[in-house]
Amino acid sequence: MKDAKIPIGWLIPIVGLILLLGWFLDQQGWRVSKLNPPGIELVPPTASVVPQSIQSNQSIVTPLLPTLTPLAWAIETSFIVQANQPWQNTGVEVRRGDSLEIVYSSGQWTGRSSSPGLSGPDFGPSPENTDECYPIRGEGSSLIGKIGNGEPFKIGYQYVGNPTDTGILLLRMNDCDKLLFDNAGSITVTIRIRR
């Protein structure tokens, strides 16, 4: 059997290819690792060996900003409603279709100071308060509101809705004007409008 002979002319491009492959692997982050027993193993690139081109691109990438801004209230204010006063002007103008929110914040009041004492803004149904002098019959001493000359509506601890009236928001205790004399206390509410 004859020894295989490779012409010297072939060695030059083969060595060149080996050198080129070595350079390419080095550019990609591959490294040579010594083994035990002796040998050579090519180690693939890891996250800690990131090509310089990628590192430089990181400074170009900026975080995405949120495209939606939080919904804001067009109006947000607080108002103190006196128990012994008729309709009280909040100074807040409500437009038809607004999202209106009136929320109890603090305070106590009573529609009859002799009894049963101070309490919150919702007395619930009260069948005895059916006199036509009550803005809302059957809901004596609860917090109520109306918009402009619109129909009175109950608020109690909270009202959330889309009014069909346009005008100034008025608030009061649901009591007859002629019976306000024995009322006491006040209720503070937060009024919010989104439009």
Q: Tell me the torsion sign for CA atoms 90, 92, 97, 100.
A: negative
Provide the minimum distance between the beta carbon of 119 and Ca ion in the complex, in angstroms, as a whole number.
13
Q: What is the DSSP string of the chain?
A: -PPP---HHHHHHHHHHHHHHHHHHHHTT-EEEE-SSS-EEEEPP-TTS--HHHHHHHTT--PPPPS-PPP--SEEEEEEEETTSSSEEEEEEE-TT-EEEEEEEEEEEES-TTTT--B-S-----TT---TTSSSTT-TTSEEEEETTS--EE-TTEEEE--S--EEEEEEESS-GGGGGG-EEEEEEEEEEE-
Work out how close the CB of 70 gets to Ca ion at its nearest, in angstroms, rounded to a whole number.
43
CA distance linking residue 193 with residue 77, whole number of Å = 9
CB of 122 to Ca ion, least distance (A): 16
Nearer to Ca ion, 98 or 175 (CB): 175
Residue nearest to Ca ion (CB): 179
Q: Which is nearer to Ca ion, 90 or 141 (CB)?
A: 141
Q: Which is nearer to Ca ion, 81 or 179 (CB)?
A: 179
Nearer to Ca ion, 99 or 126 (CB): 126
Least separation in angstroms between CB 120 and Ca ion: 16
| Cβ(121)–Cβ(175) below 8 Å | no
Q: Minimum Å distance from CB 175 to Ca ion?
A: 5
Q: How far is the CB of 182 from Ca ion (least distance, A)?
A: 5
Q: In the complex with Ca ion, which residue's Cβ is closer, 172 or 193?
A: 172
Comparing CB distances to Ca ion, the nearer of 7 and 127 is 127
Applying CB under 5 A, the residues found at the interface with Ca ion are 111, 175, 179, 182-183
